[in-house]
Amino acid sequence: MNLPSRIESLRTRHASLDSRIFDEDRRPAPDQGTLSRLKREKLRVKEELERLRQRN
pLDDT digits (tens, 9 = 90+) for 1-56: 799 999 999 999 999 999 999 999 999 999 999 999 999 999 999 999 999 999 86
* pLDDT score at 36: 98
Can you tell me the distance from the alpha carbon of 29 to that of 56, in angstroms, rounded to the nearest whole number?
42
* pLDDT score at 49: 96
2 to 5, 13, 31: CA distances (angstroms): 5, 17, 36
Q: Tell me if the pTM is above 0.75.
A: yes
Q: What is the 3-state secondary structure (H, E, C) of the chain?
A: CCHHHHHHHHHHHHHHHHHHHHHHHCCCCCCHHHHHHHHHHHHHHHHHHHHHHHHC
* pLDDT score at 1: 77
* pLDDT score at 55: 83
